[in-house]
Amino acid sequence: MHHKTLFILDDKFSKPVLMELQYFPPIQYFTKFLLYPHVVIEQYENYQKGGYRNRCKIVNANSTQILTVPLVKGKNQQSPIREVQISYIDDWQRIHWTSIQSAYGNAPFFEHYADHLKSLLTKKYETLFDLNRVILHKILSLLQMETDIQSSAVYEKNPVDFVDLRNKISTRESNTFVDKNFTPIHYSQVFEEKHRFLPNLSILDLIFCKGPEALSYLEQCISKE
C-alpha cells in the first residue's frame, strides 16, 4: 500500500481537511487525500444541489456527460445529508453503467477495473450518503491509497480546526474557489482526438485510462504553494 506522508511535511497542511461525500468524484477531490494527513467527511450538513454529491462528469464520443443519481422527492434541498434517499423508479444504475461502458470500453484498463466498479452499481443503497461512502472506499482501495478517514462529530459553519473544502470542489459556475494546490496534467484520454484533453473529469476517467499509474498521476497534480 502506498503511504501519503510525502506531502504532509509543510505545517500549512497539518490540519485535517473537511469535505463532503461525492458521487464518483473528480480527480481534484482525490489529490486532497494525498495532501492532508487526515480527511474528515461531513455527515451533518444539509443536502445542497448543484454539486457533485449526486452527479459525476465523464466524456463519451459525443461530448461530456453528466451522470445523475435520482433522489426521492426531488432534490431534497436542505434535508440532512444522511436522510437523502435514492430513487429507483428508473433503472438509473443500468443506465449509468451502460454510459460508463460506452465511454470507456476501449480504455486501456477498462477490463481490469470494470468488475470492481460495476459492483458499486448493482446493490441498491437506501441513502445517497451510504452509496457515496462505499464508492469512496472502493476507489481509494483501487488506487492503493492509504488514508485516515473520519466522520464529522457536529456541524460547524465556520470550523477552526479543519481546512474547510466543503462545496469547494463543485460543478457550480459561480464557484470562485481557486485551488492553488491542484494543477491538472495531461494524460491520454479515449476521445482526446475528438474533444481535446479535458481536465478534472470523474476519477473513473483516470482509473480506466491510467490504471496502476493513476496514483502517480495524482501526486504529479499536487502543487504546494
| Confidence label for 8 from pLDDT (cuts 50, 70 and 90) | very low
Q: What are the CA-CA distances from residue 101 to residues 105, 113, 193 (Å)?
A: 5, 11, 19
Q: What is the pLDDT of residue 49?
A: 85
Asked whether residue 66 is domain-assigned, the answer is yes
Q: What is the pLDDT of residue 176?
A: 58
Q: What is the pLDDT of residue 74?
A: 62
Report residue 109 as a C-alpha cell. 484498463
Q: Is the confidence at residue 4, as pLDDT, over 50?
A: no
Asked whether residue 107 is domain-assigned, the answer is yes
114: nearest Cα among 106, 136, 3 = 106
Q: What is the pLDDT of residue 6?
A: 46
Q: Is the confidence at residue 2, as pLDDT, over 90?
A: no
Alpha carbon distance 167, 145 (integer Å): 23
Q: Is the confidence at residue 224, as pLDDT, over 80?
A: no
Per-residue model confidence as pLDDT tens digits over 166-186: 999 987 655 557 899 999 999
Asked whether residue 69 is domain-assigned, the answer is yes
Residue 67's domain comprises 5-220
Of 224 and 113, the one with more pLDDT: 113
Per-residue model confidence as pLDDT tens digits over 16-68: 999 999 999 999 999 999 999 899 999 999 998 888 999 999 999 999 999 99
Asked whether residue 24 is domain-assigned, the answer is yes
Number of domains in the chain: 1
Give the contacts of 224 (CB within 8 A, at least 6 positions apart).
7, 10, 13, 35, 181
Q: What is the pLDDT of residue 178?
A: 84
Report residue 105 as a C-alpha cell. 470500453
Of 12 and 181, the one with more pLDDT: 181
Q: Is the confidence at residue 149, as pLDDT, over 60?
A: yes
Alpha carbon distance 120, 134 (integer Å): 8
Q: What is the mean pLDDT of residues 71-94?
A: 89
Any idea which residue has 448493482 for its cell? 122
Q: What is the mean pLDDT of residues 132-156?
A: 95
Q: What is the pLDDT of residue 50?
A: 82
Asked whether residue 225 is domain-assigned, the answer is no
Percent of the chain with pLDDT over 90: 81
Asked whether residue 21 is domain-assigned, the answer is yes
